[in-house]
Amino acid sequence: MSIRHGLLALLERGPRYGSQLRTEFESRTGSTWPLNVGQVYTTLARLERDGLVAPDGEDTAGHTLYAITDTGRAELREWYERPVDRANPPRDELSIKLAMAVGAPGVDIRAVIQSQRHATIRAMQDYTRLKATALAAVESGRSGERDDVAWLLVLEQLIFQTEAEARWLDHCEARLVRLSLPADRRAAAPDPPQASAETPAPTATTTPPRPARTRRA
């Protein structure tokens, strides 16, 4: 997640102070990735150091405002246009857990998979319910705010992630079952379904934390 570019995107709408940026960031993403004020001000300091933002006076309450610079706008445009790099994927706790559980003494890896599958399905159900509520509000015209549309897109991405994770867990279990067979039976057993370039699947990730956002009426 690029907090740096997220803050630049919010500042493009006009000068903001730190706490305001945190509130707007969490509103736009449905509090799926909460920030603390320290993260915001640390990031603002780095942006100022790099010439991407600059102090822009104070508001009536004495808060220091920050504004995006022309260099910051150019950086933001480049970020929007540049695909997300998947060459160095972030560490995935679930993948690491299963990798370490393979052959670990006293660990039933199939029980680990089953426990995660239950949690993944619960998360998927939660996201689907939230999506239904958000979609109804957007399509009814009761909500025309960009934050609500952005929240809907985030929810749909979380649903795709959990669907991919559930499929991957099924694949892992099938793989383990096949590898546990005697060699002669293993040769006759079909391989688990493979992801391919022709039928790409979303990248599996650990189940994201359940969003804390409550939807507005």
H or E element that contains 70: helix 70-81
98's tokens? 């299963």
- The answer to whether 166 touches 117, Cβ cutoff 8 Å, is yes
Q: Are 65 and 57 in contact (CB under 8 A)?
A: yes
Match 């320290």 to its residue by tokens: 38
Contacts of 36 (CB under 8 A, 6+ apart): 22
pLDDT band at 185 (very low <50, low <70, confident <90, very high): low
CA–CA dist 45, 57 (Å, integer):
15
Vertex 25, ends 19 and 31: CA angle to 5°?
A: 105
Contact present, 166 and 124 (Cβ < 8 Å): yes
Q: Bigger pLDDT: 161 or 33?
A: 161
> Which residue bears the tokens 């705010």?
145
pLDDT digits (tens, 9 = 90+) for 23-79: 999 888 877 788 899 999 999 999 999 999 999 999 999 999 999 999 999 999 999
